[in-house]
Amino acid sequence: MPITLKTLDEIESMRYAGHLANEVLDMIGPYVKAGITTNEIDRICHDYIVNVQKAFPSPLYYKGYPKSICTSVNHQVCHGVPGDKVLKEGDIVNIDVTVMKNGYHGDTSRMFTVGKTSIIAKRLIDVAYECLWAGISQVKPGNHLGDVGYAIQRHAESKSCAVVRDYCGHGIGRDFHEDPQVLHHADKHGEGDLLCTGMTFTIEPMINAGKCDVKLLPDGWTVVTKDHKLSAQWEHTVAVTKDGVDVLTFRPDEKIPQVITANYRFSLFGFRW
């Protein structure tokens, strides 16, 4: 399938959908406490998207997925299906929200901690966030998708962490998942598709505290680390502009990690709501 380049109007529609996805994550944050089930988190998010935002949760029924969000806890890497699991003190959880509004999708995820968590968990969450921004820093016309993956892998491994190779980011727009696939690893610069103005895709590196190996659980969705060590993930939807990158799911209170701004130069267009 060819890569679909978006017009400025389409990008603004995607920005609005991404804004709604961020609203959901802002809303659910206070509920992420010990004692709540991931199923209850899903219900609250679903009701907010449908009844308050008058939008649709993109994951629901997508290729048979049974819930409106993904909740990946501790050693769950991605696509965690909400259920009866009760969050406990010290857990870390990725909540992945995609909202469809006016025919366009906005996709983003964040890490949450349940009460006081371990130093190892906090460090992993920080490294994963740095990896996200290391990848974003490479988005500009003339670069390649492999430059995104190379920066992510190099940063993760410099922090003695591993990048999951079995799952990747994706193009997005009118379709929830479009071309291109966005790998979070690469052996060298210059691999993969050439980036050009109008491309829109997600960057969502999954970073493990242990090895990169993962396995799929019998539910057909939830991915976990084989060594049962922690995993963390952050996600943004981005657009390639003529000058650099537009992070469509950027938050007004968001801070780019200092280690990234110190080591990379990139042109960022920020949140415009």
- Residues of the chain by 3-state class (helix, strand, coil), percent to 5: 30, 25, 45
Name residues whose C-beta falls within 8 Å of residue 86's C-beta, 6 or more positions apart in sequence.
35, 36, 37
Structural domain for 214, as ranges: 8-269
* Residue 231 falls inside a structural domain: yes
Residue 273, pLDDT above cutoff 70: no
* Residue 62 falls inside a structural domain: yes
The CATH number assigned to the domain holding 166 equals: 3.90.230.10
Instruction: Give the model confidence (pLDDT) of 106-164 as tens digits.
Output: 999 999 999 999 999 999 999 999 999 999 999 999 999 999 999 999 999 999 999 99
* Residue 3 falls inside a structural domain: no
Instruction: Give the model confidence (pLDDT) of 40-65 as tens digits.
Output: 999 999 999 999 999 999 999 999 99
* Residue 1 falls inside a structural domain: no
* Residue 58 falls inside a structural domain: yes
* Residue 196 falls inside a structural domain: yes
In angstroms, the CA 134 to CA 245 distance is 12
* Residue 252 falls inside a structural domain: yes
Given this model, what pLDDT does residue 271 score? 46
Given this model, what pLDDT does residue 270 score? 53
* Residue 174 falls inside a structural domain: yes
Domain count, the chain: 1
Given this model, what pLDDT does residue 26 score? 98
Tokens of 153: 């892998």
- Are residues 244 and 137 in contact, defined by beta-carbon separation less than 8 angstroms? no
